[in-house]
């Protein structure tokens, strides 16, 4: 199996690049943000709880997202591998992911980290908010908070994956196609 984490701050382009990666490498796309938004759309209690936090740009509790990811991994039908998008976002989530994968006799092959300047992140998120209607993409205070939460809770994962020799930094500025070529040249060596 080929399992990768697509990593980076909000607005780095993880979702857009995931679409290209799943086409080329035939991986199952697991985006915790998408899963949470589908729970909100169907109005489950979990969705209602998550929405309050997402609307403030805060993280949803670890036990909730860890449970969701575990369920998706264990119920996938003969996958070639997974691309984890927006997960893990804390060290506890990364440890849980390593455990679940190891229980299923597999592991993360590598982490693709998209490097994008702060001003560009904010610009991309506001642009996306106009089309998607996502409320967390339309308010500058919420966007700033998400980037702060990333720096505080998620950036420590860089060290976590560097220690495992799995961390690959990619320049995330430029066109979607150019960035995808950079990603492919790294992933082709996994
Ligand atoms: P972005 O990468 O632009 O922030 P996502 O769809 O990945 O977009 O995440 C949107 C929101 O969903 C986050 O701000 C957070 O509230 C929640 N969320 C998504 N994934 C996780 C996760 N792994 N852990 C905790 N909260 C999450």
For 155-169, what is each residue's pLDDT tens digit?
999 999 999 999 999
**Closest residue CA from atom 18 of ligand 1:** 33
pLDDT recorded at residue 11 = 96
CA of 139 to the centre of ligand 1 (A): 16
**What whole-number distance in Å separates Cα of residue 173 and Cα of residue 147?**
17
Number of neighbouring beta carbons within 10 Å of residue 81: 18
- With 0-12 / 13-18 / 19 or more C-beta atoms within 10 angstroms meaning exposed / middle / buried, residue 159 is exposed
- Closest CA to ligand 1's atom 9: 33
Ligand 1 pocket: which of 37, 60, 134 to mutate (most atoms <8 Å of CB)?
A: 60
Percent of the chain past pLDDT 90, that is, above it, reads 96
The CATH classification of domain 2-184, taken from the options 3.40.190.10, 1.20.58.390, 3.10.350.10, 3.40.50.300: 3.40.50.300
Q: Looking at the whole model, is its pTM more than 0.95?
A: yes
The rounded Å distance from CA 138 to ligand 1 centre is 15
Q: Which range is least confidently modeled, 65-69, 88-92, 114-118, 134-138?
A: 134-138
Is residue 177 exposed (0-12), middle (13-18) or buried (19+ Cβ within 10 Å)?
exposed
The binding-site residues of ligand 1, defined as CB within 6 angstroms of any ligand atom, are 10-11, 14, 32-33, 36, 53-54, 57-60, 65, 86-87, 89, 93, 146
- Could you give the percent of the chain with pLDDT greater than 70? 100
Please report which confidence band the pLDDT of residue 132 belongs to, taking 50, 70 and 90 as the band edges: confident
pLDDT of residue 133: 87
């Amino acid at each position: 199996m080929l399992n990768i984490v697509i990593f980076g701050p909000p607005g780095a382009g993880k979702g857009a690049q995931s679409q290209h990666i799943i086409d080329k490498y035939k991986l199952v796309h697991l985006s915790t943000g998408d899963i949470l938004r589908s729970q909100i759309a169907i109005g489950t209690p979990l969705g209602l709880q998550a929405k309050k936090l997402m609307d403030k740009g805060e993280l949803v509790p670890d036990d909730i997202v860890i449970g969701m990811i575990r369920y998706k991994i264990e119920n996938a039908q003969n996958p070639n591998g997974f691309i984890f998008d927006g997960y893990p976002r804390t060290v506890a989530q990364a440890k849980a992911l390593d455990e679940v994968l190891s229980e299923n006799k597999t592991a993360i092959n590598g982490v693709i980290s998209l490097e994008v300047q702060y001003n560009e992140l904010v610009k991309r998120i506001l642009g996306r908010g106009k089309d998607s209607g996502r409320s967390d993409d339309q308010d500058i205070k919420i966007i700033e908070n998400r980037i702060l939460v990333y720096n505080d809770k998620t950036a420590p994962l860089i060290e976590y994956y560097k220690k495992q020799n799995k961390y690959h930094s990619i320049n995330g500025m430029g066109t979607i196609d150019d960035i995808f070529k950079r990603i492919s040249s790294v992933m082709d060596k996994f």
